[in-house]
Chain A
Amino acid sequence: MNIYVLVKRTFDTEEKIVVSGGKIQEDGAEFIINPYDEYAIEEAIQVRDAQGGEVTVLTMGGEDAEKQLRTALAMGADKAVLINIEDDVEELDQFTAAHIISEYLKDKNADLILAGNVAIDGGSGQVGPRVAESLGINYVTTITNLEINGTTVTIKRDVEGDTEVLETSLPLLVTAQQGLNEPRYPSLPGIMKAKKKPLEEVELDDLDIDEDDVEAKTETIEIYLPPKKEAGKVLEGELADQVKELVHLLHSEAKVV
């Protein structure tokens, strides 16, 4: 089976966000594989181990993203692709990203493409389904279970807490929800092997894409931090009185109940 995983390099979940000059400061920040993409990588490895085939992890970004690709290779992916847009694309949105990724994938005959259901930085959750639509294949989002039998695929997906059980077929794109699996940590031998696994780098020219064709449809005009919350009121006194006071405050001051 020919399996692709779409991976995004994101800020570590522990990172504090600092805005300066209208941009999120990246200097000194730790970067990780988007947590939802880790589920996608793990699932891809499990499917390959059960069904045979090859797992290719793909990301779009700059040279820095090589580190996350190597981590995915260390987890067990077979090959990696970096679509390097550093020099070509200044402003990108989900349209841009999906267009470029689809152009790369269109002649790769992927049977299964996996991605995280959302990236924890931009948080739009668009790129996976957009890529599937561009490639003309079906997609299922927020999956928590995947079973493949020949070309028949049985999926459980999370729908706002409910579980939907559905059937579809390959080729298919799925996006991973938490609960799909427990992503493995790269093992030491895995890390050693990853250094020798193939990592292909391509640019827009290699994909015959003109920068103008992928010009973003939307534009971020400002980035700002939410207003700092003032320290709240920690109640004092007898517990029973505190509870009474809290109910009173919620009712009369905050007016939320």
Chain B
Amino acid sequence: MSKKVLVLGEAREGALRNVSYEAIAAAKQISSGGEVVSVLLGDSVGELATELGKYGADRVITVEHPHLKQYTSDGYGQALLAVIEQENPEAIVFGHTALGKDLSPKIASKLQIGLVSDVTSIEGEGDAAVYIRPIYSGKAFEKVKVKDGIEFITIRPNNIAPLAKDDSKSADVSSMSVDITNLRTIIKEVVRKSTEGVDLSEAKVVIAGGRGVKSEEGFAPLKELADVLGGAVGASRGACDADYCDYSLQIGQTGKVVTPDLYIAAGISGAIQHLAGMSNSKIIVAINKDPEANIFKVADYGIVGDLFEVIPMLTEEFKKLKVNA
């Protein structure tokens, strides 16, 4: 049976996040030929709506309100519940982002339904859809089915491929007005710590440093390589605990879980807790002075050597590759 699926689009600094398109692809599969309706919430998001159609949304509903300028679970919750009430979807898809993680349990609780969080792939379509998600920080996986009620999932960024962009397609865009009141949280300030744009959890390339980086300054060559590859810099707990970098960069069982196409671990020994945060990356490169380091066991390619020699050489080689490309 085909299903009507509601998808939450997510914008950041005026642009749609990639996970919005990935969520549409997931919704298409769950819908099994049914309608995919994207929802955009914000104070001014109308201009972004057309883009969602090109990635497969059949319809886009925008809710614009001054109180939606910044995310709060109250504001977004009220807006989304109003849309859900109007649309009566049979399935809902969010990104498993900071926003999605914060908002989805509220909606699920309000509707008294199940919620399958952090889905990395979907098997089957429509009523037969089965959701696959990592458990024990990626040391195992589970397949989950929704027994009854609305199928509500959040998808992990970078795992479900978006549909190819089709400029000839467009979605019907409509706006809905929702009364948003009684916000219990007031956002005072947002301090941007994440560096220039590339979000660690969405990055296609991650260059991560461990204790072997030795100092805060030691991260500079990693940053340079990340810039050349359009990637993000991450770190092991060891590097964070030693104050070489901010905890916001930490990858592992506590910390972020990343699944980039390319993960370069520099000076990281590969403790089991670190592996939990990155072992599902597509390609893993290990650079470590210690040939016995555990990280080599999960790496696709390894270089035994000093990261301060290897990383700058890699940066130069990749620069050459870019010039020749």
Contacts and interface: CB of A to CB of B under 8 A. Distances in A.
Contacts of A14: 272-273
A207 interface: no
B303 interface: yes
B283 A218 contact: no
A87 interface: no
Contacts, number: 254
A124 interface: yes
Interface in B221-266: 229, 246-250, 253-255, 261-262
Interface stretch (A67-75, A105-113, A165-173, A192-200): A165-173
Contacts of B249: 161
Contacts of B303: 234-235, 239, 242-243, 246
A217 B273 contact: no
Contact of B317 (A19, A120, A244): A244
A232 B137 CA distance: 22
Contacts of A159: 98, 190
B109 A13 contact: no
A138 B184 CA distance: 7
A222 interface: yes
B321 A226 contact: no
Interface string B161-205: 000000000000000000000001111111111100001110011
Which of A221, A222, A232 has the most CB atoms of chain B within a 10 A radius of its CB? Answer: A232
Given A218-B145, A257-B262, A126 B108 contact: yes
B275 to A, nearest CB: 10
B262 A250 contact: yes
A162 B248 CA distance: 8
B143 A222 contact: yes
A220 interface: yes
B188 A219 contact: no
Main secondary structure of the interface of A (DSSP, over half): mixed
Nearest to B281: A256
B220 interface: no
Interface stretch (A1-9, A56-64, A76-84, A93-101): A93-101
Interface stretch (B25-33, B36-44, B115-123): B115-123
B184 A169 contact: yes
Interface string B139-174: 111111111110000000000000000000000000
Interface string A136-178: 0011111000000000001000111111111111000000001
Contacts of A250: 262, 283, 285, 301
Interface of B: 73-74, 97-98, 101-102, 104-106, 108-110, 112-118, 130, 133-149, 184-194, 199-201, 204-205, 229, 246-250, 253-255, 261-262, 272-273, 276, 279-280, 282-286, 291, 296-305, 309-310, 313-314, 317-318, 321
Interface of A: 11, 13-14, 16-17, 19, 24, 35-36, 93-95, 98, 120-130, 132-134, 138-142, 154, 158-169, 178-179, 216-226, 229, 231-235, 239-240, 242-244, 246-247, 249-251, 254, 256-257
